[in-house]
Amino acid sequence: MKTWLLRCALGSLALSAPALAQDEGDDPYAYPDDAPSYDAAESYDGIRPKVDQTDDFRRVSEQEGDDGEDDFETLSSLDDPNLGVAMEFISGALFLDSPRGRAADTRLGLGVRATWEYGRILDNESLREALWADLRWTYGGTSDGTEFLQGKTNIHYFTIAPAYELKLGKSDFGFFGQLGGGIAYQASSITIDTVETKVSGIKPLFQYGVGFRGRPRITSSGNLRLAFRVEAMGFRRGYHNDFFLGGSLGTAF
């Protein structure tokens, strides 16, 4: 009897072991060996298509505010805070038209001018430094005669002349053309022995010419610049056509 009971107990234990092992837990979860790695950038690109940033800038520049004015403001004045003002001293050869029909009298021409780059007030990047104007004074004189009879003539040219400059890329140099007007003040004197007779007058003046202009920076920081020009300029006063060939040197701010 005892042997039979022992055999039944051992048989029950043998059958219950696999069942208990099955009930205690399932097989471990099998992860695939080639699971794709998660890339946040690729996942984002897959959800939202790429947008060209130039489209955003274009929309901002074309967007109008409630008052009907463009909300997009240029920052050229911050990139280059120069005042656009220059002062230069002028020197060169002045060819005075002879009233007697002979070759022009070559004399030293001197002067000074102030330049204002008025294109800066137009809020246009292409015209910012291309448009400017000069307020100019140029002087020249001539004399002729003998010890007994002498004649002297001094001519002062006062002009206001706007100009348009073609910049050489984004450099501080360029070629320009200029047209303007003003007055020519002429003072003449004739001396016979010790008696002097003076005659003076004013005539309208037309100025025209071309040249090369430069405004390089003097220091890496700051607004001080070196201003210079090489020019060929004509002065038409009445029926006389004087001609100036020279240059100028000064500073710009």
Does some domain include residue 53? no
- Counted domains in the chain: 1
Q: How confident is the model at residue 43 (pLDDT cuts 50, 70, 90)?
A: very low
pLDDT confidence of residue 220: 78
Task: From 170, 90, 184, select the one nearest 129 (Cα to Cα).
Answer: 170
Q: How far is CA 12 from CA 16, 20, 25, 113, in A?
A: 6, 12, 21, 121
Higher pLDDT, 163 or 27: 163
57 assigned to some structural domain: no
- pLDDT, tens only, 80-123: 567 889 999 999 999 998 766 666 788 999 999 999 999 988 87
CA distance 135 to 244: 16
Residues of the domain holding 238: 78-252
| Predicted model pTM | 0.67
In a domain, 238, yes or no: yes
Tell me if 63 is assigned to some domain.
no
CATH number at residue 218: 2.40.160.20
Torsion angles phi and psi, residue 50, rounded to 5: -70, 145
Residue 51: CA atoms inside 13 Å, Cβ hemisphere, count?
Answer: 9
Residue 206 lies in a domain: yes
Residue linked to tokens 């004087």: 242
The residue count of the chain comes to: 253
Residue 153 lies inside a defined structural domain of this protein: yes
Between CA 41 and CA 249 the distance in angstroms is 59
